[in-house]
Amino acid sequence: MKLIVEENEQKMSESAMYILLGAMMQDKRVNISLTSGRSPRTLYRLMVPLVKDQEKFKDIQYYLFDDSPYVGETHGGNWKEMHEIFFDPANIPDDRIHIPTMENWQDFDEEIRQAGGIDVMVIGLGWDGHFCANLPRCTPLDSYTYCMEFDKKREVNPTYPERPAQPYSLTMGPKSLMRVKHLVMIVNGKEKAEIFKKFLEEPISAEIPSTVLKLHPNFTVICDQDAASMLE
């Protein structure tokens, strides 16, 4: 694992952007996987003017590693948020965006393998140590993409009551991420400092699912000084 500590979120985002752009410059189909959330927003703001309508990036395929489809819809919040913060501003068409759904999740890893694998994936570190939708104490550490069923009958979204219910969570599992050619984690903010310290220093366990990623053979972690503030 390679650890890079940058001065601030801007510098952290620039470092991640250079890794992504370096992979995207290859003269072949390139598959990259991106994360939603707060941490990558500066990264996407920097990338949009560089990739928007660029002929040299026309073969880039984008993969999202998790989603929780709304009742009656194919996609959920991850699909919608990524369109808002990156795909729509960058004019990325839907036919170049791939995501696990209730129809394809069982074949998702094989489809990626047949497409040449993920060249680079950017993920964040969750406040409780989760990654993708792999949550503490309920992540099968030996799993590829899997479906976690909640209450299929519930009609109210317990986290966001104004949104439709989301009875399933679909996510690439730990073994899926081990296949990624270059795995990049970004971590920023003082609120992540404690869990970041635990992630780095504690042994692999289902209590902090992200610890399993330290086994990845090509793993780069980029953080800002706030996130690294509790490290010795």
Clarify whether 130 is annotated catalytic: yes
In the chain, where do the E strands start and end? 2-6, 30-34, 60-64, 66-67, 97-98, 120-124, 146-149, 168-171, 183-187, 219-224
Quick one: average pLDDT of 40-50?
97
Clarify whether 216 is annotated catalytic: no
Amino acid at 101: T
Helix H or strand E encompassing 81: helix 77-82
Helix H or strand E encompassing 50: helix 41-51
Asked if residue 214 lies in contact with residue 1, where contact means CB atoms within 8 angstroms, the answer is yes
Clarify whether 75 is annotated catalytic: no
Amino acid at 163: R
pLDDT tens by residue, 205-226: 999 999 999 999 999 999 999 9
Distance CA 10, CA 222 (A): 12
Query: In CATH terms, is domain 2-224 a member of 1.10.3720.10?
Result: no
Ordered by start, the domain boundaries in the chain are 2-224
pLDDT, position 92 = 97
pTM for the whole thing?
A: 0.92
Joined tokens for residue 176:
């899926």
Asked if residue 133 lies in contact with residue 194, where contact means CB atoms within 8 angstroms, the answer is no
Query: Is pLDDT of 162 > 70?
Result: no
The CA distances from residue 20 to 30, 50, 51, 69, 108, in Å, are 10, 12, 11, 27, 22
Quick one: average pLDDT of 43-51?
97
Please pick, among 98, 130, 182, 216, the residue that the annotation labels catalytic.
130
Please pick, among 59, 75, 83, 128, the residue that the annotation labels catalytic.
128
